[in-house]
């Protein structure tokens, strides 16, 4: 296959943390594209309530999750992308960091709109139990010490998050005892 003949999709997210909903979107996307570019958004921020994990930790989590889910890692790029806080030019900014792609893959209405305006085709995946699989919900469960969050992420991700003591980190950055 010639490099230019490869069909790629770009899947942005913060992945704070990665969960089975994200994995389901990746599987769905890889049924439609040859390669998937995972853009780790807000890469510059960590140790805050909405973004407790570093970009490097998110790369590790994604690699672990992809391996555990049986996704071929040779079909996936994982690229951290810092924010620019200028929505209208964001899709063009993303192009500086990632290989050329044809599709944006998103459910977020703003992301969909921005990529359409930039001339991209957008693939909108199904919600995959969106009420159950949200990183916001997972972070809340971690802060509260609810062990059920571990069921919502791949086992290897839960082990990694335990290793970096994510629950303790989150309680400390939230100022919760």
Distance CA 152, CA 138 (A): 8
In the structure, what pLDDT confidence band is assigned to residue 176 with cuts at 50, 70 and 90? confident
Which pLDDT tens digit goes with each residue over 75-100? Answer: 999 999 999 999 999 999 999 999 99
Alpha carbon distances (Å) from 41 to 14, 45, 53, 148: 5, 9, 12, 26
- Asked whether 89 and 48 are in contact (CB, 8 A), the reply is no
Distance CA 37, CA 70 (A): 17
Inter-axis angle of helices 20-30 and 55-68, to 10 degrees?
70
- pLDDT over 80 (residue 33): yes
pLDDT at 175: 86
Among 95, 103, 102, 65, smallest CA distance to 79 is for 95
The SS3 of residue 98 is coil
pTM: 0.95
Count H helices, E strands: the chain? 7, 5
Q: Which domains are delineated in the chain?
A: 7-174 (3.40.50.620)
- pLDDT over 60 (residue 1): no
């Amino acid at each position: 296959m010639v490099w230019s003949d490869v069909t790629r999709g770009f899947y942005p997210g913060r992945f704070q943390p990665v969960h089975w909903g994200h994995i389901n979107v990746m599987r769905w996307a890889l049924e439609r594209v040859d390669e998937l570019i995972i853009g780790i958004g807000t890469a510059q921020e960590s140790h805050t309530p909405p973004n407790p994990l570093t970009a490097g930790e998110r790369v590790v989590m994604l690699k672990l999750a992809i391996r555990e889910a049986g996704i071929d890692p040779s079909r996936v790029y994982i690229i951290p992308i810092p924010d620019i806080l200028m929505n209208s030019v964001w899709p063009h900014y993303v192009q500086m960091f990632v290989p050329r792609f044809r599709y944006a893959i998103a459910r977020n209405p703003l992301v969909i709109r921005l990529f359409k305006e930039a001339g991209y085709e957008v693939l909108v995946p199904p919600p995959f139990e969106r009420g159950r699989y949200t990183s916001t919900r997972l972070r809340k469960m971690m802060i509260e010490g609810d062990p059920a969050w571990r069921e919502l992420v791949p086992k290897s991700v839960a082990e990694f998050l335990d290793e970096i003591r994510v629950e303790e980190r989150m309680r400390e950055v939230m100022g919760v005892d």
